[in-house]
Amino acid sequence: IAALSRAEKGHPAPKIVFASTRATIPLDNPFFRFGRAIGLNVRVPLFTDGVPDSSVGFPFPSPFDTIPQALGAGLQTEVAALRIGKGGFLLLPTELDPQLGDAYRRLMRGVKHSFIVGLASDSIGYQVPFAKWDNGCHACAPFIIAGVPEMCPVQPIDCDTVFLNNVGRQVDPAITSALGRVIEALE
């Protein structure tokens, strides 16, 4: 209780500012495309050239040409930022890699307290720094789905949760770009 009496008092009517923007992200994950093709995880629609696209096809070469894939180019999601007095909140549709969180906090200028809320408006999977991306899991998807992962030419296959539950390599650049726009809009 003594610590609370020494705490800094906030402004009685703090300024509140909110900004959000859409981010378009290519869907590179063949596992997500397979799931959508068979009716799973269809809450967030896919788009091609800005138009909703629910088409399904069979783009893999033989012998994998029986594996269905959603064909939409990518998905649209939202990134937002909120300022309440000296507090800053970043609202992301991803689960964030810690080193990205540190960089994002540094982008919030003029805030005393910074918060990052993941999976805020969507839940599109992990956000891995572009430089840390390993494409082996996605490259081997048809082999894994068909039950013959040992035949994939990329070995060893790194399909840990971070790469398996990830829209693709472009998540980080797309979210970072959108985040820069919303932070700028708050200033």
Cβ atoms of 128 and 171 closer than 8 Å? yes
Length of the chain: 187
| Domain locations in the chain as residue ranges | 12-131+167-186
* pLDDT tens digits, 43-92: 778 999 999 999 999 999 999 999 999 999 999 999 999 999 999 999 99
Q: Contact at 8 Å (CB) between 114 and 82?
A: no
Q: Look at the pTM and tell me if it is higher than 0.75.
A: yes
Give how far the C-alpha of residue 95 lies from the chain's centroid of Cα atoms, to the nearest Å. Answer: 7
Task: Give the contacts of 32 (CB within 8 A, at least 6 positions apart).
Answer: 41, 70, 125, 167
Question: 3-class DSSP state for residue 39?
Answer: coil
